[in-house]
A and B are shown apart, each in its own frame.
Chain A
Amino acid sequence: MLTFVIFMLILAMFLVLLRASIGPSLYDRILAVNVFGSNAALLIAVFTFVSGRHELLDIALTYALINFVGNIALLRFFSFGSGSHKESDL
């Protein structure tokens, strides 16, 4: 059952990466990377139970937090930082 869940999560992450590569605007890519990160945290949490090493749960927890902080940092950079741009660049 856990291998089925891992397979579905990897398939979903592949589809999300496809959206990140073809996304027409910048914010589509940021959204896709955010969803990819939360799916990766879930994947690490499931893989913990497959491998039986429960230390990996800390990595999943840290991954979820770093994903959020990285997303907010990216949005601030592209909205207010030196990466901000005009409407025509979207």
Chain B
Amino acid sequence: MTSIAQYISDGFLILGSLLVLISSLGMLRFPDLFTRIHASSVATTFGAICVVIGLILYNGTDAVIFKLALMLLFLLFTGPTSTHALARAALEAGLKPSAHVRKESSNEEPSPSNPKSSPHSGNVRKNREEDPSNF
């Protein structure tokens, strides 16, 4: 019974650490501040959830589980709040999304009106919906 919990804990820990690493890689390689915010929110929400659940299943007395759950609650409240404030402050300071990102999103705008004429853009949209960083 303990070994099953150990395996589940290992899976959560591996998934969480991989998510944190992928998110920091995205923060390094994305072209824009707002896309970097999108990349960083993966680490601060889903990566934190996975790592803390893995730690809870690893070895938990009651006080440790309570403190870990409290830390997860604080991280989940403060992470999106601070990134929201950051994006708002950046917009008010005059920082715009870069021209490359705006051009991609404006090219995809007319695709749902006539989906038969452009099947390729429909494929792009479908692939984008299956993006695992879209949590």
Please give the residue numbers on chain A whose beta carbons come within 8 Å of chain B beta carbons, in ascending order: 1-2, 4-5, 8-9, 11-13, 15-16, 18-19, 25, 27-28, 30-32, 34-35, 38-39, 41-42, 45-46, 49, 54, 57-58, 60-61, 64-65, 67-68, 71-72, 75, 78-79, 87, 90
**Quick check: A19 and B71 within 8 Å, CB to CB?**
no
**Quick check: A61 and B37 within 8 Å, CB to CB?**
no
**Quick check: B21 and A12 within 8 Å, CB to CB?**
yes
Q: Does B46 contact A (CB under 8 A)?
A: no
Given contacts A38-B44, A45-B68, A54-B63, contact A61 B20 (CB under 8 A): no
B 9-44 binary contact with A (CB < 8 Å = 1; else 0): 110011011101101110110000100110010011
**Quick check: B81 and A68 within 8 Å, CB to CB?**
yes
**Quick check: B67 and A9 within 8 Å, CB to CB?**
no
Q: A25: which of B33, B51, B78 is its contact (CB, 8 Å)?
A: B33
Q: B70: which of A13, A30, A61, A67 is its contact (CB, 8 Å)?
A: A61
Contacts of B55 in A (CB 8 A): 45-46, 49
B97 to chain A, nearest CB (A): 12
**Quick check: A68 and B78 within 8 Å, CB to CB?**
yes
- If over half of B's interface residues share one DSSP class (helix, strand or loop), that class is named, otherwise mixed; here it is helix
Interface residues on B, range: 35 or more
Most chain A Cβ neighbours within 10 Å, of B17, B18, B36, B81: B17
Closest A-B pairs by Cβ, 3 of them: A68-B78, A8-B17, A12-B24
Contacts of A90 in B (CB 8 A): 93-95
